[in-house]
Amino acid sequence: MRRNEREIKDRQAIDNIIRRCQVCRIALCDGDQPYIVPLSFGYDGDCLFFHAALEGRKIDLIRKNNRAAFEFDILNEIVTAGEACGWGMRYESVMGTGRMEVVDKPEDKSRALAWIMCQYGSTEHVFPEQMLKKTLVLRLTILTISGKQRP
């Protein structure tokens, strides 16, 4: 990281940023082109969870290459100045890499979907069997993670 003074090294601080975010962007490999998509998500401290339709571009890409990157950010304030070069932002961000996999077992799917619901404030989690069959659940196991901030 070029600006070492902005690096967040404390894992609890990184987790706190993730828990305050509402969107996770995942980047996938599409041949020699990147493909990025914003998603709702859940987080258990080790893995990120996503739900998806049973088919589509991101699913096709994950099946070809399960490597992924992810990004979270919180814009706290835009800092204005008299000159354009003096402007800036106060922010917190988290980035990392991992491996994506499809979650198959119904009990694992339910647990992953519960993490997604918890991210958005719901503590009631009942997932009918029919809905579990229609929903693809993805788990991204985090391999690398880093945080950055400008307070």
The pLDDT-based confidence of 1 (bands split at 50, 70, 90) is low
pLDDT digits (tens, 9 = 90+) for 55-80: 999 999 999 999 999 999 999 999 99
Residue 132 CA neighbour count, 13 Å, CB half: 17
Distance CA 140, CA 42 (A): 10
Helix (H) or strand (E) holding 20: helix 11-20
DSSP state string for 22-87: S-EEEEEEETTEEEEEEE--EE-SSEEEEEE-SSSHHHHHHHH--EEEEEEEEEEEEEP-SSGGG-
Kindly give, in sequence order, each residue whose CB lies less than 8 Å from that of residue 116, ignoring residues fewer than 6 positions away: 40, 41, 42, 49, 50, 51
In degrees and rounded to multiples of 5, residue 111 shows phi and psi of: -65, -40
pLDDT digits (tens, 9 = 90+) for 97-133: 999 999 999 999 999 999 999 999 988 888 999 999 8
**Pairing, β 7-8 against β 88-103:** unpaired
Q: How many domains does the chain have?
A: 1
The pLDDT-based confidence of 4 (bands split at 50, 70, 90) is confident
CATH number of the structural domain spanning residue 110: 2.30.110.10
Q: Is the pLDDT of residue 140 over 90?
A: yes
Q: Which domain holds residue 8?
A: 4-150
